[in-house]
Amino acid sequence: MPYTKSQQNLRLAKIVSELKCNKQVNTQSLAEYFRAHEHEPGAPLGCSARTVARDIQHLQQALNAPIEYDESERTYVLTNHSWSFATPIFDDEFVSMTMLGVQLAEELAPEPLKGEMDRALTQTMTVNSSKFFDRTMMETILAASGVKSHIKPEIFQALFDTWRLRQCVKLKYQDPQGKNSEHDFEPHLLVFHNGNWYTKGYLMGTREVRVFACQRITGVAPLLRMFQSDRKLLEETRRNGIFNYPKVSGIKLHCDASIAFYIHEQQIKFQSKLEPQADGSLVVTLNPTVEHEVMRWVLGEGGRIQVLEPQELREKVAEAGREITRCNS
């Protein structure tokens, strides 16, 4: 089956994305990736290694992409990460999904990034049309859980720019107790977590991991030193969360029938062990979980969840319940 220009452009964009992430790729690994995702919605990417080779050649020759082949590693590398893939893709589905992604991202981004996204979306809709969305309809798509704290626009802009350039910074920071400090910092990650923005990385020149809440940053000054992205830190954060709290195993809960519906709905993501009871309730055995997150869930359900195991967690929840009663009696 012949490939459309839109399909080729999607492959080109993905190849450039993989190279910019410093992934070790060659024609065979990219072809295997595209075939693995061939049947996903919006991903008509399946092709051969020879097609990928032609795509890379097109990037090099037609678009002047700084892509070189590393003979020792047998992989391709992007020698200049500031180079951008600017080939327009006017496929209606692509335009629609781009608009959708920007609209949702706007709900989470602080200023001035939010304003820049809004201007980009307006410009996209000025020169492109979509039979699925117009600007009025786009505004009906909301992310209900948006940003919960205010970040000074100039602070986020400076942090965003240095993160994008992989440039070290001198951070001025005020902790929750009002104590001020300064840190020479490598901002490897920008993370949106529970309604707040954080930057995670290393103290400059060390492997000491630090996390700073963006709303508590009072100053950002770029330094002359650059850093290399650390994919290990990214993967570890994806696997364990931004704060890497210790997780507790063997948590077993009895959940009332009135909340069983949403527990069933969340199992695709959380994959807990569920044991349905005759009265419609559930006994849930959680995968290793951060203890304080479970406590917040149990207390938030106001008596609809009973901790069965471990006993230590059961006692902590009971003590928190007694304190809540004392404060509100």
Task: Report the C-alpha dihedral over residues 172, 175, 177, 179, rounded to 10 degrees.
Answer: -30
Convert the pLDDT of each residue in 63-94 to its tens digit: 888 999 988 888 999 888 888 776 554 555 66
Could you tell me the residue range of the domain that residue 22 belongs to? 5-78
Question: How many domains does one find in the chain?
Answer: 4
Q: pLDDT (tens digit, 9 = 90+) per residue, 21-45?
A: 877 889 998 888 888 766 554 455 6
Task: Say what the pLDDT of residue 258 is.
Answer: 94
Residue 251 resides in a domain: yes
Cα(294)–Cα(313) distance, integer angstroms: 9
CATH at residue 313: 3.30.70
| 36 domain-assigned | yes
| CATH code of residue 209 | 2.30.30.520
pTM of the model: 0.59
**Rounded Cα gap, residues 316 and 124, in angstroms:** 53
Q: Where are the beta strands (DSSP E) in 124-281?
A: 167-174, 180-193, 196-203, 209-213, 217-226, 247-248, 252-255, 273-276
